[in-house]
Amino acid sequence: MDIHLLPTFKSIEDILEYALNEEKDATSFYLEVSKKTDNPDLKRFLIGLAEMEEHHYTVLKNKLEECKANHFCTDGILSSFHEEEAPLDAV
C-alpha cells in the first residue's frame, strides 16, 4: 500500500469505513488465490488468512457502530480493542 495514494480522511468513521473495505478486499484476495492452488497446505494457509481478515472486518465494523452510537471517544474505543480481541485460534 502506497501511503501517498491514500485518501484524505476527515473522521474516524472515514478511516474505519476505508479499513473495512480493505479487509473485505483482503478476504476476497486470499480466497481467490486459495482456489488457484492444488497445494492443500497452501490452500489451508490462505483460507486461514481469509478467516483472520473476516475477524478483523467484524472487529472494525463493531468499532464503527460503537463510534456512531456513542459519539466516539478516542480513549474508550482504543481501550476496548484489548477487551474484544479473541485469540487467533478461537477465530
SS3 per residue for 49-72: HHHHHHHHHHHHHHHHHHHHHCCC
pLDDT surpassing 90 at residue 69: no
Residue 7 lies in a domain: no
Residue 6 lies in a domain: no
- What mean pLDDT value characterizes the chain? 84
Number of separate domains in the chain? 1
40-69 and 74-84 helices, crossing angle to 10°: 140
Residue 5 lies in a domain: no
- Count of residues in the chain: 91
Residue 56 lies in a domain: yes
Query: What does the pLDDT read at residue 82?
Result: 64
Residue 3 lies in a domain: no
Q: What does the buried/exposed string (b/e) look like for 10-49 if buried means 16 or more CB atoms within 10 Å of the residue's CB?
A: eeeeebbeebbeebeebbeebbeebeeeeeeeeeeebeeb
Question: Containing domain of residue 37, as a range?
Answer: 12-90
DSSP class of residue 36? T
Over range 21-40, report the average pLDDT: 98
Greater confidence, 11 or 60? 60
Residue 1 lies in a domain: no
pLDDT surpassing 50 at residue 57: yes
Query: What does the pLDDT read at residue 12?
Result: 84
Residue 84: pLDDT band by 50, 70, 90 thresholds? low
- Dist. CA 54–CA 68, nearest whole Å: 21
Nearest residue to 62 (alpha-carbon basis) of 87, 88, 86, 33: 86
